Amino acid sequence: MTDVLDELRWRGLIAQTTDIDALRKALEDGPITYYCGFDPTAPSLHHGHLVQLVLLRHLQLAGHRPIALVGGATGLIGDPRMSGERVLNDRATVAEWVERLRVQIERFLSFEGDNAALMVNNLDWHGGLSALDFLRDVGKHYRLGTMLAKDTVARRLASDEGISFTEFSYQILQGMDFLELHRRHGVTLQTGGNDQWGNLLSGVELARKSDGLALHALTTPLITKADGTKFGKSEGGAVWLAPDMMTPYAFYQFWLNAADEDVIGWLRTFTFRTREQIAELEAAVAERPAAREAQRALALDVTTLVHGEREAQQAIAASQALFGRGDLAELDDATLAAAVSGLPSVAARVGDAVVDVLAATDVFRGKSDARRAVAEGGVYVNNVKVTSDEALLSADDVLAGRFVLLRRGKKTLVVAELAD
């Protein structure tokens, strides 16, 4: 059995640790209890959180006990950003987002067995803490020099906007979480993204000064593309895990469109495929890049992990059906709407001549070009070849109550949207 830390390192899931040898021994002597925190500063988790969820799952599969903390208290404050103060969300909004995040996190962990996962909310202990107790029992263990040296704090202090005491205090709250979870549940390891290193060390130092403990911290690298650009739909864009913020189809397409230079690293980081399976896919990328076997495996695994097998299969079916390799009518309305949302569109009505609809798109240079394409057998309505230039759109052609898919050749797609 591969040592779990070696496995995590091979998968690109380790950036920094407090003491790798001490942590390795603790894991070997375990099981240990470990945690990661997720702040509800948005109504959904995203790709950066996905790295942490995968890490939590790997450690649980290795026999250790995970605790997922949703920050009902820290979410009211917000971790300081490089770019300026966050807008503070009201308590009702944060409480709603706490519940949304809990649902997203639950599918990644097992809540049964000897190492059953636990979900906690740090509002349970921060909510009743008085200012005097905070200053006397916690504040006395923090030195301003150390807090001011934190990279984000230092940059914000040097900016025109500066930093509020509210956001400056965030690192103390996160440090308190680590100590509190050790006292309540025996937590000895905190994980997080590499940009959280200073906050993780805050908890390690507080536990050492307050209770004489030697706790552990482990961070994961920030994920970027092979060309150095940010990971997301666009520069700085987020790949959301909530289906109402990024549809399962769009989510699947993001992973399916991974570059050859990125796909093997992402298979290691975001999936649970074995080394042997990933080696086979790496060979396929080198030998048969056009087949995109690795990308299809990545998209299937990650979409299944986040949204479930049914949604993953619907996304695959939609991808195939758009290009004539499946039945569009078998797709559910939501998946079809997501699949056509990124296509060029044209307004139409039942009874319109197909060539008139085609001529209104940018795909054809007028009605004569559309007629010529029909005569050559290169036009399809919902993947059915159009055989006459007098064909009309019928009510039977309408999908999901409002769409008709038009295709020229193998790859050029347009969606006709029917007016109400």
- Block mean pLDDT (10 aa), the chain, length 420: 85 96 93 96 94 97 97 90 85 96 96 96 94 92 88 86 89 95 97 93 94 96 81 66 93 93 96 97 95 96 96 92 83 87 86 88 85 90 89 89 87 83
Residue that the structure tokens 């993001």 belong to: 254
- Gap between the Cα atoms of 219 and 221, Å rounded: 7
Between the alpha carbon of residue 23 and those of residues 10, 66, 74, 216, the distances in Å are 17, 16, 27, 7
pLDDT tens digits, 176-226: 999 999 999 999 999 999 999 999 999 999 999 999 999 999 999 998 888
pLDDT of res. 232: 63
- Gap between the Cα atoms of 204 and 198, Å rounded: 10
How far does CA 409 lie from the centroid of its chain? 35
Annotated binding residue at 233?
yes
Between the alpha carbon of residue 77 and those of residues 25, 145, 164, the distances in Å are 36, 22, 11
Tokens of 389: 């230039």
* DSSP characters over 210-256: HH----EEEEEPPPB-TTSPBSSSSTT---BSSTTTS-HHHHHHHHH
- Gap between the Cα atoms of 239 and 216, Å rounded: 29
| Residue 120 near residue 103, CB atoms below 8 Å | no
pLDDT of res. 343: 85
Looking at the DSSP bridge assignments, the partners of residue 69 are 37, 120
Letter for the amino acid at 419? A
Tokens of 112: 């049964």
Annotated binding residue at 142?
no
Strands (E), 155-195: 187-193
Strands (E), 311-372: 345-348
Q: Which of 405, 408, 349, 347 is nearest to 374 (CA)?
A: 408
pLDDT of res. 330: 85
> Is the whole-model pTM more than 0.85?
yes
Annotated binding residue at 174?
yes
- Gap between the Cα atoms of 83 and 386, Å rounded: 55
pLDDT of res. 23: 96
- Gap between the Cα atoms of 148 and 52, Å rounded: 27
pLDDT of res. 234: 46
Annotated binding residue at 252?
no
pLDDT of res. 2: 54
- Gap between the Cα atoms of 248 and 303, Å rounded: 7
pLDDT of res. 408: 87
